[in-house]
Structure 1
Amino acid sequence: MSTTMGQPSSFDPLVFDDEEAIEALASSVVQLHEGLLAFGKCYTTCMTGDRATLIHGRIESVLSNAFCTIFGQSPIDRFSDIFDQASYIAEHMAKDHIFEDGNKRTSLVIAFAIIRVRNVSVDFSDNPNPEDNPYYEWIQDLVSGKRTREELASELRRNSRPTRP
């Protein structure tokens, strides 16, 4: 899916082979999660000390597997496009249950944000009621095994459109 002359296409997976970039991204995920919890009715406890370090490490692990070259294999070799990569992140963030609450919601926002980096947005109905929110249902089905990561990537692809850079 790459374009000519080494320029990435809007759908290529992202590559961050930089430990500092992964650490910064993990910190952003924690901040995003905390922001989502502040606006929702979620159960949470303060993430400090060893617990905060553990959570940050688990997030870094998911992000490293998604964005870094592993055993000589680039994310461009492992993921067909940005939607495949974003659905991988959503699946692992939600299934690994990294946070006490808000895992599915956080994983969705992160997936949409990752896609947005490529100047692509996903059209979706963001109903605040989880039972009436199709993407919340997707994540719930992904976690429960009713749908696959590949199906989520296809859904994201179908409902995407390029935006202006």
Structure 2
Amino acid sequence: MADTKPGAHPFAPLVLDDAGSLEDMAAAVMRLHSTLMTVGRCYTTDATGDRAALELGRVESVLAGAFCTIFGQSPADRFADIFDQVTYVAEHMVKDHIFEDGNKRTSLVFALSVLRFAGTPVVLSDSPEPKDNQYYAWIQDLVSSRRTNSELAEELRCGFVAGTGDLSLV
């Protein structure tokens, strides 16, 4: 299970050191991607067979790199906080181009969902105009490397909705 102990630092990275939690999170990413492709405008369908297995394996690899202890180094040793951690995940998911379509959407929504799950919801400007939409700018800057991961994680930190019990904002 994810390390979300009461009293733990609210920004601490999540740790998923059991296979069940990692598998559950990977399955959630796959369901999220499928849902986003169903409701979004896309030109591909769900992968099947070998392609689906390859996608799942790549998702599990990215998640293990972010959420599991590797060579004795826990996520808390590798990431300053959960904002750094989800920026890392989003970067690797989108730049590895795991899916045929919807990589940016899936990466962004997954990152925001992890933050919400961890009790650190983020709200940025969601303007219908791409040039004024902070979510769009965030993922585009991640893909193009216009800003560093540290700068992108800082934007998420600044968008953190402190002290709110209303998670419907995200």
Matched residue, 1:62: 62
- With the length of structure 2 as denominator, give the TM-score of the two structures: 0.87
Matched residue, 1:19: 19
Hey, what's the Cα distance between the residues in 2 that align with 1:6 and 1:38? 37
Give per-residue Cα distances to partners, 1:69-110, cap 9 Å, x unaligned.
000000011000010001111111111111111111111111
CA positional deviation for 1:133: 2.4
Structural RMSD (CA) = 1.9
Matched residue, 2:42: 42
Unaligned runs of 5+ in 2: none
Hey, what's the Cα distance between the residues in 2 that align with 1:140 and 1:147? 10
Contact kept? 2:86, 2:114, Cα under 8 Å? yes
- After TM superposition, list the pairs within 5 Å mapping 1:103-114 onto structure 2: 103-114=103-114
Give per-residue Cα distances to partners, 1:131-157, cap 9 Å, x unaligned.
542222221121112112111100000
Hey, what's the Cα distance between the residues in 2 that align with 1:116 and 1:46? 26
Contact kept? 1:55, 1:98, Cα under 8 Å? yes
CA positional deviation for 1:130: 4.2
Contact kept? 1:32, 1:106, Cα under 8 Å? yes
Hey, what's the Cα distance between the residues in 1 that align with 2:143 and 2:53? 25
C-alpha change, 1:133 and 1:62, in structure 2 (3 Å) is: same
User: Which amino acid letter does the alignment assign opposite residue 36 of structure 1?
Assistant: L
- With the length of structure 1 as denominator, give the TM-score of the two structures: 0.90
C-alpha change, 1:21 and 1:132, in structure 2 (3 Å) is: same
> Could you tell which deviates more after superposition, 131-140 or 64-73?
131-140
Please give the secondary structure, in 1, of the residue aligned with 2:13.
coil
Unaligned runs of 5+ in 1: none
Hey, what's the Cα distance between the residues in 1 that align with 2:75 and 2:97? 23
Hey, what's the Cα distance between the residues in 1 that align with 2:70 and 2:10? 23
The question of 1:28 aligning with 2:28 is answered yes
Query: What is the number of residues matched between the two proteins?
Result: 161
CA positional deviation for 1:43: 2.0
Contact kept? 1:43, 1:100, Cα under 8 Å? no
> Could you tell which deviates more after superposition, 127-136 or 142-151?
127-136
C-alpha change, 1:104 and 1:128, in structure 2 (3 Å) is: farther
Please give the secondary structure, in 1, of the residue aligned with 2:121.
strand
The question of 1:122 aligning with 2:122 is answered yes
The question of 1:101 aligning with 2:101 is answered yes
